[in-house]
Amino acid sequence: MINNKQFFSTTVCFLLFFISHSQNKRVKHPFYFSWGYNKEWYADNNIRISQPSLQNNYTFQKVKGVDKPGWNTGIFNKDLTIPQYNYRLGYRINKKWGAELNFDHTKYQVPDQTLHIIGTYQGLIIDSSFARTGDNLTYQLNNGANFFLFNAVRWVNLFKTDSSKINVNLLLKGGIGFVYPHVETTIMGQNNNAGFQFGGFDAGVEAGIQVTFFKYVYLEYANKVVYARYRNLKIYEGTAKQNIVCYEMILSLGLWL
């Protein structure tokens, strides 16, 4: 398994590779920043619960997860940082390549459903189903599943006016990073709010369309897939782990600096 030192060494080498291999003419406004909002869908996944002092070591199988957009009851009726938001801070090395810090504040919740549980519960073998309610199971990364990625970015020009008032590019992104979730749980009636914590590593790919107006302002629409490995998430008297596959749609407004 990759450790923290190996991860950060790989990330630094990953970014330096694109900088050192830049040969094209540098762009006039190389830095950029964007802010936007996102909608998520999650693949079913297993959630492993380990509570040694309670003699619990079991798995919720094929759990359905949902997001919490925040503005589904109206636009701009909540603080800007409450809905599922995202930002990018990047450097365009040349007309084709760039590198960026890519952050998505996503939310993951387990809704009402019939769950299958298998393993050991209170020292006894268990293999059964039960109906999930807010009383017996509340499992959520509600203040953020929080995907951080260090991305390589590729621009492919699709259209540009002679005056450069409108410039349309296809964007392709890919990278590796880490997750920093906020964990809130009630498992079998036992409450725990562990707060923010380092949760593991992730990787993602993204494709989108970027339309730049008057060289400085751009609008970006993207589709993204992220794979995240959550480990040692703190819960009552133990830990949880899961692997999440997430599909996102993202709309952002940005500036070239």
pLDDT tens for 84-95 read 999 999 999 998
DSSP secondary structure of 163-226: TSSEEEEEEEEEEEEEE--EEEEEETTEEEEEEE---EEEEEEEEEEEEEETTTEEEEEEEEEE
Exposed / middle / buried, residue 30 (Cβ in 10 Å: 0-12, 13-18, 19+) = middle
Domain boundaries, the chain: 4-256
**pLDDT of 69 strictly over 90:** no
Helix, strand, coil tally for the chain in percent (to 5): 10, 60, 30
Residue with tokens 């562990």: 194
**What is the tens place of the pLDDT at every residue in 97-126?**
999 999 999 999 999 999 999 999 999 999
**pLDDT of 33 strictly over 60:** yes
- pLDDT score recorded for residue 1: 47
**pLDDT of 34 strictly over 50:** yes
Q: Which residues contact 198 (CB under 8 A, 6 or more apart)?
A: 178, 179, 180
- pLDDT score recorded for residue 97: 95
In the chain, what percentage of residues exceed pLDDT 90?
67
Residue with tokens 């199971």: 137
In DSSP terms, which residues pair with 226 in a beta bridge?
204, 246
**pLDDT of 208 strictly over 60:** yes
- pLDDT score recorded for residue 130: 84
- pLDDT score recorded for residue 105: 95
Q: Which residues contact 237 (CB under 8 A, 6 or more apart)?
A: 51, 52, 53, 54, 190
> What's the CATH architecture for 4-256?
Beta Barrel (2.40)
**pLDDT of 10 strictly over 60:** no
Banded model confidence at residue 151, pLDDT cuts 50, 70, 90 = very high
End-to-end CA distance of the chain: 39
Tokens, residue 207: 């494709």
Report the pLDDT averaged over residues 141-151: 93
**pLDDT of 136 strictly over 80:** no
Q: Which residue has the higher pLDDT, 248 or 132?
A: 248
Q: The dihedral of CA 167, 171, 176, 179: what is its sign?
A: positive
DSSP 52: G
Q: Which amino acid is at 78?
A: K
**pLDDT of 72 strictly over 70:** no
The average confidence (pLDDT) of the chain is 87
Lowest mean pLDDT among 20-34, 97-111, 141-155: 20-34
**pLDDT of 234 strictly over 60:** yes
**Quick check: pTM over 0.75?**
yes
Nearest to 215 by CA among 176, 145, 161, 153: 161
